[in-house]
A and B are shown apart, each in its own frame.
Chain A
Amino acid sequence: MNPLGSCKDMHRLVAESMDRRLSLVLRLRVRAHLMFCDACTNFKLQMEWIRKAMRRFDEH
């Protein structure tokens, strides 16, 4: 088992971190996983991308 967690577990934490503050332990685990995982890093960027887009939704 990967000590840094599976992408399946991590993507959910990344998505939920947009809506709630994760515990310190979870935040560290996510951060460690992202350091070594491009797929989850891109997923996190996509979540942030969507937020940026929604903030500008009004203008269009």
Chain B
Amino acid sequence: MTNRPHPEPDLATQLAPLRPHLLRFARLQLRNDSWAEDVVSETVLAVLEKPGAFGGQSSLKTYVIGILKHKIIDQLRSSNRDVHLETREDEGDDQAFDKLFSTDGHFRDAPPNWGDPQATLERQEFFEILQVCVERLPAAVGRVFMMREWLELDTEEICKELAITTSNCWVMLYRARMRLRECLQLNWFGERPEAMARR
């Protein structure tokens, strides 16, 4: 036997503080607390089972989130028949979006320039607002949006996994983008006139 210290206890200690972080993303994606708990447990187990697989090229957090994403994709694939996607829950949205335009099709309030994302994307507070805005999306729309922008799946793949038509998929993504834009405008950019003044 070698006297090399066993890596597992150390890795487990390092993983513990990441758990709430993993759970937050799993919940945002799956919109189901018990599935989120399951997938996070599976992720932690998978990491602990193969302690040698983490080579330290990236941060442990990045590595574990990568595994979480794979587990979530597996979960979405195996459960798509059980997921009831209520795609009509937000039909009123399109009328709401129509109000953004005058009768001749011009923006009533022209979208302001949000400025250079670089500095904002270093700020933790911004991501707290972003999280709240994603949480506020209706469940089905939020799930599809997270699949597209967080899991970075192709639209065709998302439609296939969820067994919905491509046009339905585009509509849901459109609604998600419109709602997020409005939420960020109100809750982040609205308070920052300097970002809005830059054109």
Contact call A46/B101, Cβ cutoff below 8 A: no
Contacts of B54 in A (CB 8 A): none
Tally of A interface residues using CB under 8 Å? 32
When distances are taken between beta carbons in the complex, the residues of chain A under 8 Å from B181 are 43, 46-47, 50
Q: How far is the CB of A28 from chain B (nearest CB, A)?
A: 19
Chain A residues within an 8 Å CB radius of B113:
42, 45
Given B25, B111, B184, which contacts A58 in the complex, CB threshold below 8 Å? B25
Cβ of B95 to closest chain A Cβ, rounded Å: 13
- The verdict on A53 contacting B174 (CB below 8 Å), with A6-B101, A39-B107 known, is no
A12:B101 contact, CB within 8 angstroms? no
Is the contact region of chain B dominated by helix, strand, or loop, or is it mixed? helix
Nearest CB in chain A: distance from B90 CB, A: 15
Say whether A18 faces chain B, with CB atoms less than 8 Å apart.
Answer: yes
Residue of A nearest to B65 (CB): A58
A58–B199 touching, CB < 8 Å: no
B114 touches A58 (CB 8 A): no
A51 at the interface (CB under 8 A from B): yes
Chain A residues within 8 Å of B101, by CB = 6-8
Q: Please give, as numbers and ranges, the residues of chain B lying within 8 Å of A19 by CB-CB distance.
A: 148, 155, 169-170, 173-174
Contact A45:B110 (CB < 8 A) given known A7-B105, A18-B173, A20-B155? no
**What string of 1s and 0s marks CB contacts (under 8 Å) between A34-60 and chain B?**
000011101101110111111111111
Q: How far is the CA of A50 from the CA of B145 in the complex (A)?
A: 11
- Taking a contact as CB atoms under 8 Å apart, the answer to whether A42 and B149 are in contact is no
* Known pairs A43-B107, A45-B114, A53-B126 / 18 extra A-B pairs, C-beta < 8 Å: A7-B101, A18-B177, A19-B170, A19-B173, A20-B155, A20-B166, A38-B199, A42-B112, A42-B113, A51-B149, A53-B130, A54-B149, A57-B130, A57-B131, A58-B61, A58-B62, A58-B65, A60-B127
Residue contacts A-B, CB under 8 angstroms, 10 given:
A8-B100, A15-B173, A15-B178, A16-B170, A42-B199, A46-B181, A53-B117, A56-B127, A57-B130, A58-B61
Question: Taking beta carbons and an 8 Å cutoff, which residues of A are in contact with B?
Answer: 2, 6-9, 11-12, 15-16, 18-20, 38-40, 42-43, 45-47, 49-60
